[in-house]
Structure 1
Amino acid sequence: MTTTPRTIDVVLGDRSYPVWIGPGLLNDHARWRAALRGRHALVISNTTVAPLYLERIAAGFEGLSWSSFLIDDGEAHKTFANVGLALDALARLGATRDACVIALGGGVVGDLAGFSAACWMRGIDFIQMPTTLLSMVDSSVGGKTGVNLPAGKNLVGAFHQPRAVIADTDALTTLPDREYRAGLAEVIKGAAIGDPAFFAWLEANAAALNARETGPLIEAIARKVQYKAGVVARDETEQGERALLNLGHTFGHALETAGKYKVLLHGEGVAVGMLLAAQLSERLGMSEVADTARLHRLLDAVGLPTAIPAGMDPAQLLALMRLDKKNLAGTLRLILWRGIGRAEIVGGVDEAQVMAVLEAAVR
C-alpha cells in the first residue's frame, strides 16, 4: 500500500481547499507556504505540541512577521478566555486582514485557532496543521470552530473554512496510544454512518491500524476525509445531511461534560456514544443486534471504551443531552442508524427509551 502523500479537495461551490495527507508534510514548506497570502502569521499551539513541531515549521516563515501563542493541553482550555488572549496576540503582531492563523495541534487547538481567526477583523485566513489522528480525520476538515462553556461543549462557534489542511502522518509517531485510539473512533464513525465497505475494510485492517502501519493509516485517513469532504460539500452549515456526522456525539458530549473533560477523551466519548446510539436504535426496532455486535467488536479490537464510566449519573447525562444543538422544539433529535452504513436523523426520541439505554450501560 502506497505511502505517497494524498491530496483530497474540499469543494464548496466556487471555493475549495486541499487536504494533504502523508509523511514529512510539516517540513514541506514550499507546499503550505503558498497558502499564506499576507505578511503576518500567528501560530496557535499548545505546550505539548509546540516543543515537538514548532521549530519544524518556523523555517517556512522566512520573510514574514510571525509569533506564537500557546495554551495548556486539554479540552478544558478551549475557552473564551484563551480566545481573548489569542486575539491580544494578533493585536500585538499588528495582524492585518490578510494575516493567517496557523493551528498546530489537535482538535482543541484547531477549534480555538479557527474561532479566533473567524473573530479577528470579522474573519481572516487560517491553516490547519493537525497533529492528532482525531483532528486529521475530523475536526480539521469542514470549518467548524468554537469554544466550550460550563453548560456544555461547543455551544459557541462559527463556520470558518481553512485555507489548507496539512496532515503530516509523521506527527502520529509521538502520539500516545490512548490519543491514537481516540482518533480511530472518528474513523470508525465515518464508516458506520455511510460506508459499509469501509467498515468491513476497518474490520480486516484493525491489527495494521493498531500497529500504526503507514500505508493502511494513510488509506484510512484519506477514506474518512474523502467521505467527510463530500458531506461538507453538500451541506456546509449543517442544515441536513451534515448532522449525520454527529453519530454518537450527543451521548459523547454529555459524557465528556459530565466528566469535566478529565474522564474521557473526545474520541472515547464518541466510541461509547456510537455504541449507545446503536443500542438505542436496536431498542427502537430500527436495527439488528448483529449490527450492534459488529460495532462493539470493532471498538474492542482497537482498544476503545464501550461502557459509561463508573459513577456517572444517567439522569445528569440525559439533562446534558437536552442541551445538544441538534434538538428541536424541546425534544431530543438524535443520529441513529438502521445498521452499519445507514445512519439517519431521528426527531422526537422518547426520553424514557434513552434513559433505559443509559442505565443499562453504566458500569
Structure 2
Amino acid sequence: MLNVLGYAAESATSPLKPFTFERRDPRADDVTIEILYSGVCHSDIHQARDEWGGSMYPMVPGHEIIGRVAAVGSEVKKYKVGDMVGVGCMVESCQQCSACKDDLEQYCLEGMVPTYNGTHKFSDNLPTFGGYSKQIVVTQNFVVKIPDALDIKSAAPILCAGITTYSPLKHYGVGKGHKIGVIGMGGLGHMGVKYAKALGAEVTIFTRSESKVAEAKKQGADHVIISTDEAQMAAATESFDFMLDTVPVQHDLNPYLNALKYDGTHIMVGLIEPMDNPPVHGANLIMKRRRLVGSLIGGIAETQEVLDFSAKHGITCDVEMIKMEDINGAYDRMIKGDVKYRFVIDMAAYQG
C-alpha cells in the first residue's frame, strides 16, 4: 500500500485538516499520478458537510485533478512516465453494461464509482479518496491526457465544470444559428458561455444581479437579461432554442420555460439544494412541445474531447490559486459567492 498525504474532513462539522492514508498498490493497468493541481467544486462542500446525505468519513474531496504520471503498470499502453494527465469525477465503472459500452460511464447501470466518497466496488472495495492529496492511483481507462496547449492550472475545472456544460451542449446539438440562454454566472455558467460561443450559438446570460452585466459580456455573452426585471423577461418570451440551467439552488423554472420557442429545450445541470423546486406548470411544456431535461458530467471519451476542444479554442476556466492550508477559508468564500470562478489548490506546494 502507498502512504499518501492529503487533507480530509473527519465529520460533517469538522474543518478539513491534514490526513495521511493508504492507497492501493498499483496494479498492472494502473497509472500512479503525482497530483499538481486540484480544483475545488461546490459539490466538495456539499459532500464534506453531508448536505446531500450519504457522506463517508474520513473524506478526501477533489475530482478535478491534474498531475504528472509517476509510474505505470505493465499493461498500461495509453500513458508513460512524465505525461501530464487528468482525473475527473469517476474512477471506475462496470465496463460491461450498455452505458459503459456507449462511452457513457457516468450512467453505468451498476453505478459508476466517484473519485471520492465512494467505494471501489468493481475491484478491491477500498474507499475512494480524491484530489486533495499528493498522489492518486487510477486505472488507465479513467485517466485523460492534458493537451500541451492548455494551461494546467486553469485546466483542472474543465474535468467537472467544463464537461458538465459541454456534454449537454453537444448532445442536444447546440450550434450555429441557435439562441441559448445560460442561467447563472458561476463556475458552470461562465464555462457554458464559452463553450456555447465556441460552438457558434448566440448566448444570453440570465442573472439576478445588475453587477454581473459587465462580467457576463467580458466572458463572451452577446446579451444579458436581468431575471428579476419583469419587462426584460416579458420581452424574452418565446425567443430561445435552449436554456442551460446552472443554478444549484431553488428557483422557478416557469419564466425560463416561457422564454423558449416551441420545441425548445431546458437543460438542468445545477443540482438543486435543497432538492426540491417550485412546481413546473404543465402548460409551459405541453402547449409548445418544450422539453425539460437533465445531464450529468460526461464519459471518459467525451472528457478527452472537451479537453481537446478547449485547447483548440483557447478555453480555460477562470481560477484563483490557493494553498492547501487555505481550503476552509476557500469553502467559506465559495458559499458567499466570493470567487471568480473556481479555486484551484496548488498541491505540489503542499508539504503537510
TM score, norm. by length of structure 1: 0.28
TM score, norm. by length of structure 2: 0.28
Larger strand fraction of residues: 2
Which fold has the larger relative contact order, with Cα–Cα distance below 8 Å and residues 6 or more apart in sequence? Answer: 2
